[in-house]
Amino acid sequence: MNQVAPDRVSIDTPKIIYILYLAGFITGITAVVGVVMAYVNQDEAPEWLQTHYRFQIRTFWIGLLMCVIGGILSIVLIGFLVLFFWAIWLIVRVVKGFKYLEQRQPVPDPTTWMF
């Protein structure tokens, strides 16, 4: 694990990943690109930045699960509520992660399912 001081580490890649997740609302595929980038960069990052990558990876997979469930349940209309919740959930997670990243702090609980 790289023990470089937080103020000397580039935070560009995690920023790009958060932005790709938001762009996924429009394109869909950019979230996949973002999760691949997170997987590729997580091992070589300092420990505090690894929490962001872990958070981003979990955001992708949990979000995908919610979209699948919401898509299936859309047949009985409740799925639209699930998809609406997913959209709000994703925005909150990205904004929260971005805030911690800008402050160069680790995500406090990167394994949480919520916010």
Percent of all residues in the chain with a pLDDT value above 90, rounded to a whole number: 77
Contact 35, 28 (CB under 8 A): no
- Residue 7's pLDDT band, with cuts at 50, 70 and 90, is low
As a whole number of angstroms, the distance between CA 68 and CA 9 comes to 36
Q: Per-residue pLDDT averaged across 26-31, rounded?
A: 90
Residue 41's pLDDT is: 92
Flag whether pLDDT at 113 surpasses 70.
Answer: yes
- Residue 1's pLDDT band, with cuts at 50, 70 and 90, is very low
Q: Per-residue pLDDT averaged across 42-63, rounded?
A: 93
Percent of all residues in the chain with a pLDDT value above 70, rounded to a whole number: 91
- Structure tokens that stand for 49 in this block: 């930045």
Q: Per-residue pLDDT averaged across 38-56, rounded?
A: 93
Angle of CA points 69, 108, 104, to nearest 5°: 115
Flag whether pLDDT at 2 surpasses 60.
Answer: no
